[in-house]
């Protein structure tokens, strides 16, 4: 909790640290009602800043200082200054040792930052600025140090004692206690520090690196979860191999550990050699985790592992550079997931997510550049822009340089900066130097916020056989900047002839080989590209694979979109054509709903989706993606003013129409796939994910018919499925159905069966919170009283509150403002206990400019109520004040 007005911090004020910490020796005495931390820091004046010895200002928060010594000199209260955030001492020589002892209280730490307790075990979360809640330190990523950590605790309660690096010694400490010392040979910033003490079991395996070293791999969990670690272990081994093969990166310590904890503010944390994970990102087995959960575990294990190079060996100079490690690492984990599963489906899912959620962020009050220029609370900047758009920016460099050029650049980056704390500019410079290219203009992607628009028009000259595409780019104003300079926009494209074939693409003035798909770079505000030898007017396929994070528009009519759906050689664009067709059809329905006329749907969408569904040659995962209509959240994002009711009504109407018209094919595909599921063992692989996905989307459509045979099928699947994917989908379908008795029976039996598994109960909460049936808020409020619910656990908050505000738009946006009031009350409550979670749950209220004037007024009133509710954490303060600005 803050004690002074939160301050804005600026990138332009960055200064190198006055002092360096060569060695950090930590001792933790862990007790049930307090913890003692002793830190010995071997320090010196930063030689680059001259010989003068300015005061040494250490970061520290919520610490009870017990003693300070400079060298062998004990300091008394008159010898140092202390405030709520700092300890200041005056060094008397250029090299010295600083010893401090503090008392802290992990047992009452509800913010889950620093050292805290979760389900009886001690664990840490230090990124970004949590280490200062453990001891006085230079808590900034450009201060890198060699850490030695000794921890002692009660032997019975905490048989396992872990920290970063390699275990070097351990022993008893009296009768009841024991201790262990860990040494990390790699220099690291404090945000990568970790400690764990608890009663844990582990699954152990090994990995032999490309140079033949054997690494011990351990996944630590609470004893009852020991049977749910295999998928994470396999994912880890696959990630280690992939990083060697694709990036030439080898693991560097003798041991790599993952620990699963139940109370965690986000997905996981890449602490050196000791990753700490939200249990939801580790535990997975068929009976208790869905296919989506299996894929998420695989992706997060990979992401955190990849950070060992992109983040740990080469780290960030300051937090404005966060995307240096996060954008790059998301790009790396997307490549991994694409290789492990279907690359096209992975791309579709990533783009659908980016367009819905990151585009909304980029158009809202918290919009910021991939490398922001200022912030109040860094925790608020672990955003979709820094992560997902940051990954798109790295992906564009990959597109521009090609796979080989990109690899040369990444090799140079890792080699040049190993052991350093660097900037996004350093990353781009390595890419430039390795390839002899100039990316100066490209770097605007790092400094300019907002989603660029790219409007494309065409002209065909039948006599000259030339075809021109004119691109006009613009970027809307964002809170940080009004005027934007043109971006470098790589546009991957093809031209289709009337037979559905790709034409050879030769630009005016070019000779030699011509391919049927290529990348052109749009670099000016307006730019025309003319293709020659074009025998007939073609249909363009633009922005293939979503080659840039922009909003592209081209005046396709519906028949042209259907043509692209059928003939485009780019799988991503076949899906995108389907989405654009669906958007056009849904927008008609929205307009009809607003006009109060009868809803009449363009049957071309039915026909197009019917063809897709009836084609047994297509990958069922692709069929599923094509059948998934644009979400209400996406339709909201692309609306000038979002009409919540019309969007919901239009989409539900379209779903019912599709269900009725395609009933027979849906039913046939459902039954065929369910039959395979019934006779096949659960396998967590792409082909099986695809089959179950199609089966389940078919079931959800079929249920809209209300027919008894579908109800029976849903119940059969719910009762007899041997895996959570089928069971949970059947539950969701029943929960959203009009069959009240069957719904309640299913919910009760599910809760009874899984009441002891908190992650499964999260799914149970989430399915109900997301149900669009009337009375959503009352259901959520009742569920908050359920014994399995607690506001102290972030997963529970996300499952119930997050699903309600993020997925149940029709109930959250209830015209009386009850949904808004509910979220605001919770934010006020969470602000006092867990500011990071409070600030996240606040996001849906910040988009108030998107809605009609009545809802705008209600949303603003709630934001104002939060602002006036008392002492705000810097997290909540920043989001509320920027939203109301
Ligand atoms: N680096 C962490 C995120 C830390 C968030 C701190 N509020 C997880 C990740 O991106 O890998
Ligand atoms: Zn990360």
- pLDDT (tens digit, 9 = 90+) per residue, 231-255? 999 999 999 999 999 999 999 999 9
Q: 429 CB contacts (<8 Å, ≥6 apart)? A: none
The Å distance, Cα 874 to ligand 1 centre, comes to 18
Q: Return the CATH number at 190.
A: 2.60.40.1730
Give tens-digit pLDDT for 587-610: 999 999 999 999 999 999 999 999
Q: Distance between CA atoms of 420 and 416, rounded to whole angstroms?
A: 9
Ligand 1 centre and the CA of 639: distance in Å?
32
Mutate to test the pocket of ligand 1, among 326, 329, 375 (most ligand atoms within 8 A of CB): 326
β-pairing, 145-154 vs 177-188, is: antiparallel
Our count of domains for the chain comes to 1
Examine residue 102 and state whether it is found in any structural domain, yes or no.
Answer: yes
- Which residue, by CA, sits nearest to atom 9 of ligand 1? 269
Q: Which two tokens stand for residue 364?
A: 């809202």
Q: Which atom of ligand 1 is nearest to the CA of 127?
A: 6
Q: Whose CA is nearest to atom 4 of ligand 1?
A: 127
Atom of ligand 1 nearest to the CA of 125: 6
* CA 307 – ligand 2 centroid, Å: 7
In a domain, 130, yes or no: yes
Residue nearest to atom 8 of ligand 1 (CA): 269
| Phi, psi of 330, rounded to the nearest 5 degrees | -65, -40
Whether 64 is a known active-site residue: answer no
pLDDT at 490 over 90: yes
Best of 192, 268, 282 to mutate for ligand 1, by most ligand atoms within 8 A of CB? 268
The 3-state secondary structure of 334-363 reads: HHHHHHHCCHHHHHHHHHHHHHHHHHHHHC
Ligand nearest to the CA of 267: 1
740-749 long-range contacts, CB within 8 A, separation 24+: 742/711, 742/715, 746/715, 746/718
How far apart are alpha carbons 523 and 520 in whole angstroms?
10
| Cα–Cα distance, 380 to 778 (Å, whole number) | 30
Tell me what the mean pLDDT of segment 720-726 comes to.
Answer: 98
Measured at the alpha carbon of residue 10, what is the angle toward residues 9 and 11, in degrees to the nearest 5? 130
Residues 6+ apart with CB under 8 A from 8: 374, 375, 376
Residue appearing with tokens 């959800």: 700
- Residue 744: pLDDT above 90? yes
Whose CA is closest to 335, among 375, 303, 367? 303
CA-nearest of 822, 844, 821, 840 to 831 is: 840
Ligand in nearest proximity to the CA of 837: 1
Long-range CB pairs of 613-621, under 8 A, 24+ apart, other chains included: 613/662, 613/665, 613/666, 613/669, 614/665, 619/342, 619/344, 619/345, 619/690, 620/673, 620/690, 620/691, 620/693, 620/694, 621/342, 621/345, 621/686, 621/689, 621/690, 621/693, 621/694
Backbone angles phi, psi at 183, to 5 degrees: -130, 125
Contact 70, 96 (CB under 8 A): yes
Q: How many residues in the chain?
A: 885
Q: Which ligand is nearest to the CA of 131?
A: 1
Please state, in angstroms and rounded to a whole number, the distance separating the CA atoms of residues 672 and 657. 23
- Structure confidence at residue 1 (pLDDT): 47
Q: How does pLDDT run across 556-569, given as a tens digit for each residue? A: 999 999 999 999 99
Kindly identify the ligand whose nearest atom is closest to the C-alpha of 836.
Answer: 1
Residue 4 — very low, low, confident or very high, per pLDDT cuts 50/70/90? low
Task: Give pLDDT tens digits for 402-427.
Answer: 999 999 999 999 999 999 999 999 99
Which positions ≥6 away from 1 have C-beta within 8 Å? Answer: 832, 835, 871, 873
Reported as a single tens digit per residue, the pLDDT across 7-48 is: 999 999 999 999 999 999 999 999 999 999 999 999 999 999
Question: Residue 884 — very low, low, confident or very high, per pLDDT cuts 50/70/90?
Answer: very high
Q: What is the pLDDT of residues 274-305, one digit of tens each?
A: 999 999 999 999 999 999 999 999 999 999 99
Mean pLDDT for the stretch of residues 321-329: 99
Cα–Cα distance for residue pair 328/311, rounded to 1 Å: 9
CB 520 within 8 A of CB 553: no
Bridge-based pairing of strands 489-496 and 518-522 is antiparallel
Distance 824 CA to ligand 2 centre (A): 29
pLDDT digits (tens, 9 = 90+) for 464-483: 999 999 999 999 999 999 99
Q: Which atom of ligand 1 is nearest to the CA of 265?
A: 7
Is 763 domain-assigned?
Answer: no
In a domain, 571, yes or no: no
**What distance in Å separates the CA atoms of residue 810 and residue 656, rounded to the nearest whole number?**
17
Integer Cα distance of 312 and 105 in angstroms: 28
Residue 59 C-alpha from the chain's centroid = 29
Across the beta sheet with 166-173, the strand order is 73-75, 64-70, 95-104, 35-45, 19-30, 145-154, 177-188, 166-173
Question: Which residues have CB under 8 Å from 286's CB, separation 6+?
Answer: 682, 684, 722, 723, 724
Ordered strands of the 114-118 beta sheet? 114-118, 121-125, 195-198, 160-163
Residue at 164 is within a domain: yes
Judge contact between 597 and 590, C-beta under 8 A: no
Identify whether the C-beta of residue 657 lies closer than 8 Å to the C-beta of residue 606: yes
**Residue 3: band (very low, low, confident or very high) from pLDDT cuts 50, 70, 90:** very low
Structure tokens, 289: 């985790």
For 281, residues 6+ apart whose C-beta sits below 8 A from its C-beta are: 267, 268, 296, 297, 300, 301
Segment 606-626 shows an average pLDDT of: 98
Question: Of residues 127, 304, 632, 878, which has the active-site annotation?
Answer: 304
Establish how many alpha carbons lie within 13 A of residue 687's alpha carbon, considering only the half-sphere containing its beta carbon: 4
Q: What is the DSSP letter of 508?
A: T
pTM score, two decimals? 0.99
Predicted pLDDT at 5: 74
Buried b or exposed e, range 199-217, using 16+ CB within 10 angstroms: ebebbeeebeeeeeeebeb
Shortest-distance Cα residue to atom 5 of ligand 1: 127
Cite the beta strand spans of 174-323 per DSSP E: 177-188, 195-198, 201-208, 214-221, 255-261, 268-269, 274-278, 315-316
Protein residue with least CA distance to atom 3, ligand 1: 269
Q: Which residue has the tokens 């404090």?
A: 190
Yes or no: say if 288 and 754 are a contact pair by the CB < 8 Å rule.
yes
Ligand nearest to the CA of 266: 1
State how far the alpha carbon of 668 is from the alpha carbons of 624, 693, 698, 701, 729, in Å: 15, 15, 9, 13, 18
Mean pLDDT score, 734-763: 98
Report the percent of the chain where pLDDT is more than 70.
Answer: 100
CA 848 to ligand 2 center in whole angstroms:
29
Task: State the chain's mean pLDDT as an integer.
Answer: 98
CB 382 within 8 A of CB 322: yes
For 244, 252, 333, the CA distances from 249, given in Å and listed in that order, are 5, 9, 14
Mutate which of 116, 126, 127 for ligand 1 pocket (most atoms within 8 A of beta carbon): 127
Distance (angstroms) between ligand 1 centre and the Cα of 129 equals 11
126 in a structural domain: yes
For atom 7 of ligand 1, which residue has the closest CA?
379
Ligand 1 binding site (Cβ under 6 Å of any ligand atom): 127-128, 266, 268-270, 303-304, 307, 326, 379, 382
Q: Would 816 be classed as within a structural domain?
A: no
Residue 367: count other Cβ atoms within 10 Å of its Cβ: 22
Residue 382 Cα to ligand 1 midpoint, Å, equals 7
Mutational test site, ligand 1, from 123, 133, 269, max ligand atoms within 8 Å of CB? 269
- The share of the chain scoring above pLDDT 90, in percent, equals 99
Q: pLDDT tens-digit profile of 686-713?
A: 999 999 999 999 999 999 999 999 999 9
- Residue with the bigger pLDDT between 3 and 491: it is 491
19 within domain boundaries: yes
Range of the domain at 84: 1-199
Distance 358 CA to ligand 1 centre (A): 17
315 contacts 141 by C-beta, under 8 angstroms: yes
622 CB-near residues (< 8 Å, 6+ apart): 342, 344, 345, 348, 571, 574, 575
């Amino acid at each position: 909790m803050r004690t002074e007005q939160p301050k804005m911090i600026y990138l332009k004020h960055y200064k190198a640290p006055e002092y360096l910490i060569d060695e950090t020796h930590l001792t933790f005495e862990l007790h049930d009602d307090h913890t003692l931390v002793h830190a010995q820091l071997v320090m010196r004046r930063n030689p680059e800043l001259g010989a003068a010895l300015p005061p040494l200002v250490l970061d520290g928060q919520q610490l009870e200082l017990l003693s300070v010594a400079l060298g062998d000199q004990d300091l008394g209260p008159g010898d140092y200054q202390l405030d709520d955030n700092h300890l200041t001492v005056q060094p008397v020589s250029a090299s010295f040792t600083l010893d401090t002892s503090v008392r802290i209280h992990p047992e009452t730490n509800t913010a889950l930052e620093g050292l805290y307790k979760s389900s009886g075990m001690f664990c840490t979360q230090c990124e970004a600025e949590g280490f200062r809640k453990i001891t006085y330190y230079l808590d900034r990523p450009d201060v890198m140090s060699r850490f030695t950590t000794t921890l002692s605790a009660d032997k019975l309660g905490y048989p396992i004692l872990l920290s970063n690096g390699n275990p070097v010694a351990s022993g008893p400490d009296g009768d009841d206690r024991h201790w262990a010392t860990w040494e990390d040979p790699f220099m690291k910033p404090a945000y990568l520090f970790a400690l764990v003490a608890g009663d844990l079991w582990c699954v152990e395996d090994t990995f032999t690196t490309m140079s033949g070293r054997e690494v011990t791999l351990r996944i630590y969990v609470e004893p009852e979860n020991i049977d749910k670690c295999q998928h994470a272990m396999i994912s880890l081994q696959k990630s280690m191999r992939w990083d060697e093969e694709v990036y030439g990166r080898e693991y560097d310590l003798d041991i790599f550990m993952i620990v699963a904890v139940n109370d965690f503010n986000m997905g996981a944390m890449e602490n050196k050699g000791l990753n700490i994970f939200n249990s939801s990102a580790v535990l997975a087995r068929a009976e208790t985790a869905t296919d989506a959960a299996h894929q998420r575990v695989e992706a997060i294990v990979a992401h955190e592992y990849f950070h060992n190079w992109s983040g740990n060996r080469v780290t960030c100079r300051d937090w404005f550079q966060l995307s240096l490690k996060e954008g790059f690492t998301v790009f790396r984990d997307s490549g991994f997931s694409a290789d492990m599963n279907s690359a096209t489906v992975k791309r579709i899912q990533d783009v659908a997510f980016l367009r819905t959620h990151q585009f909304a962020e980029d158009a809202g009050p918290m919009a910021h550049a991939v490398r922001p220029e200022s912030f109040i609370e860094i925790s608020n900047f672990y955003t979709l822009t820094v992560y997902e758009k940051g990954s798109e920016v790295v992906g564009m460099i990959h597109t521009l340089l090609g796979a080989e050029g990109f690899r040369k650049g990444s090799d140079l980056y890792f080699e040049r900066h190993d052991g350093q704390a660097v900037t996004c500019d350093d990353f781009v410079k390595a890419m430039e130097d390795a390839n002899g290219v100039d990316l100066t203009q490209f770097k605007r992607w790092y400094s300019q916020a907002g989603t660029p628009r790219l409007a494309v028009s065409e002209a065909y000259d039948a006599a000259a056989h030339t075809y021109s595409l004119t691109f006009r780019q613009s970027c809307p104003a964002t809170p940080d900047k009004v005027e934007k300079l043109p971006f470098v926009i790589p546009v991957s494209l093809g031209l289709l002839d009337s037979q559905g074939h790709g034409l050879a693409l030769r630009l005016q003035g070019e000779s030699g080989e011509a391919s049927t798909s290529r990348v052109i770079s749009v670099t000016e505000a307006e730019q025309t590209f003319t293709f020659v030898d074009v025998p007939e007017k073609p249909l363009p396929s633009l922005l293939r694979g979503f080659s840039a994070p922009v909003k592209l528009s081209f005046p396709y009519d519906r028949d042209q979109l259907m043509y692209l759906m059928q003939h485009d050689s780019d799988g991503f664009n076949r899906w995108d054509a389907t989405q654009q067709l669906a958007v056009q059809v849904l927008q008609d329905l929205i307009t009809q709903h607003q006009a109060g006329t009868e809803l009449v749907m363009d049957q071309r969408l039915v026909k197009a989706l019917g063809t897709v569904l009836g084609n047994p040659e297509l990958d069922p995962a692709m069929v599923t993606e094509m059948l998934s209509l644009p979400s209400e959240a996406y339709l909201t994002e692309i609306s000038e003013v979002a009409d919540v009711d019309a969007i919901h009504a239009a989409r539900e109407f379209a779903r019912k129409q599709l269900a009725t018209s395609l009933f027979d094919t849906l039913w046939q595909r459902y039954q065929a796939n369910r039959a395979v599921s019934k006779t096949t063992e659960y396998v967590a692989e792409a082909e099986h994910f695809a089959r179950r996905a199609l089966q389940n989307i078919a079931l959800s459509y079929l249920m809209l018919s209300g027919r008894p045979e579908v109800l029976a099928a849903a119940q059969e699947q719910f009762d007899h499925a041997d895996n959570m994917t089928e069971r949970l989908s059947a539950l969701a379908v029943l929960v959203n159905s009009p069959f009240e008795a069957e719904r309640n029976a299913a919910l009760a039996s599910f809760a009874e069966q899984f009441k002891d598994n908190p992650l499964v109960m999260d799914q149970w909460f989430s399915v109900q919170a997301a149900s669009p049936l009337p009375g959503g808020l009352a259901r959520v409020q009742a569920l908050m009283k359920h014994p399995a619910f607690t506001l102290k656990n972030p997963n529970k908050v996300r499952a119930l509150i997050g699903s309600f505000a993020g997925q149940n738009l029709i109930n959250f946006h209830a015209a009386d403002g009850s949904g808004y009031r509910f979220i605001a009350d919770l934010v006020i409550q969470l602000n006092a206990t867990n500011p990071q979670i409070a600030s996240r749950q606040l996001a849906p209220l910040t988009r108030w400019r998107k809605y009609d004037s009545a809802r705008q007024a209600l949303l603003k009133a709630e934001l104002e109520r939060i602002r006036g509710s008392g002492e705000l954490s810097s997290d909540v303060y920043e989001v509320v004040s920027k939203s109301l600005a």
